[in-house]
Amino acid sequence: MILNGGTSESASQADSVCETTAGLLERLGWGSSIFRMRDLDIAPCKGCFHCWIRTPGECIVDDPAREIAREFIRSDLAVFITPIVFGGYSHELKKGIDRLIPVLLPYFTFVGNEVHHVRRYRGYPNLLGIGILPARDPEEEAIFSQLLLRNSINMYALGVEACIIYAGEGEISAKIEGKLAEVIGG
Amino acid sequence: MNRDALVLIGSPKGIEKSASARVSLVLTEPLETAGWSVKRLWLYDADEDELLTSILSADLIILSSPLYFDSLPAPVIRRMEVVVEKRRRTPVEEKAPRFVSILNCGFVEPKHNETAQRICRRFASRARFEWYGSISLGCAGAMRRRIRRGLIIAGEALSKGFPVPPKVKRLTKKPLIPRLAYIVGGNVTWRRIAKKNGLSKGDLLAQPYKPRP
């Protein structure tokens, strides 16, 4: 699955990255379902935990976020495409990610040396985050990588990669292809 | 001297009932005692113009928010994007507002907030706010004496124009209860709530989505 988190300001570049990524996956023999987040009317997570203790595994709000969570569990790879915003994801991407909480159980357990939620499903997709920046920014790039790594722990991804694309960068295909190879191999 | 503090609540549960709001109230108590005026806005429904006007007139901005998947909730990020965009078009002030972030997570260890705190700090820099420190809390913002004390010390320092002192981190960084106790207690609580809703232990483990083969 590909979540295209391009905002109205970053739409054209995010769409181009999305198209390139989907094309590369197709060449590798992978199918992909694409969600263009800015076109989807997704309510913010209410933090009600009903997806844990009333309708376990499914959010009570019936909107496209349910389909995103369903597809997330079905997928071998989740690609998050986003302009890098203060080192993190855009609000457009995050509105879908916030609603992924039903794919976990409410219970706590140790993962490594930390407490995390218990997995609900046996398998979860690997993660590839593709972040778009206007120019090199070591601090924001480091935060973006750290965020993906932390997400991979909470989302039980076995493989995780961060790929940074700079505005106006000519050839992005090889860069994304390299990261795809690493994360699919992971 | 009359000073203005602006508290931005980033929880979907609102300005009164949320843990984020409760935590911020403890922090702002010393400010109010010292004569500061404190304004609170709920980021989920704050009018954009009011938000920006309030930011421009504030000496101190306090963001209090829960942690959602290692970052801020989407509506909070949306507001941050708007603030930075607007600030880009406003003239640089002689004295930038100071900015403090308080994040609380549902895990026992406050350190889960670290990535989101880095995001907050980056936001502060982009919005031309002066970074005045952060406070990370675990256990969904539950307060015991040690946490309360940390928040009060932070509030007192801020009221005198100082950043959050390092002592506050020492008081808040350790989990409130032993981690194993949190796991066991938390799991029992979830089962109890589910039972009240007519769900069995097995129901709680439902897998409504077909996993990949």
Stronger pLDDT, A153 or B91, i.e. the higher one: A153
Give yes or no for a contact between A91 and B74, defined as CB atoms under 8 angstroms apart.
yes
Give the ipTM of the model, two decimals please: 0.97
Cβ contact, residue pair A58, B208, below 8 Å: yes
Q: Which residues of chain B have pLDDT under 50?
A: none
Q: What is the mean pLDDT of residues A22-35?
A: 96
pLDDT reported for residue B41: 97
Q: What is the mean pLDDT of residues A132-147?
A: 98
Indicate if the pLDDT at residue A105 is higher than 60. Answer: yes
Q: Tell me the chain A residues in contact with residue B213 when contact means C-beta distances shorter than 8 Å.
A: none
The whole domain housing A69 covers: 2-185
pTM confidence score:
0.97
Indicate if the pLDDT at residue A186 is higher than 50. Answer: no
A57, A110, A154 ranked by CB distance to B208: nearest: A57
Would you call A182 an interface residue with chain B, using a CB distance cutoff of 8 Å? no
Distance from C-alpha of A31 to C-alpha of A34, rounded to nearest angstrom: 10
Helix (H, G, I), strand (E, B) or coil at B34: coil
Cβ contact, residue pair A54, B197, below 8 Å: yes
Cβ contact, residue pair A151, B70, below 8 Å: yes
CATH number for A107 = 3.40.50.360
Specify the residue for token string 């029992």.
Answer: B188
How many angstroms separate the CA of residue A18 from the nearest CA in chain B? 21
Query: Domain segments of chain B: what residues?
Result: 4-172, 178-208
Superfamily (CATH H level) for B4-172: Flavodoxin domain (3.40.50.360)
Q: State how many domains chain A has.
A: 1
Cβ contact, residue pair B74, A57, below 8 Å: no
B13, B122, B123 ranked by CB distance to A139: nearest: B122
B101 Cβ partners below 8 Å, 6+ apart? Answer: B62, B63, B64, B65, B117, B120, B121, B124, B134, B135
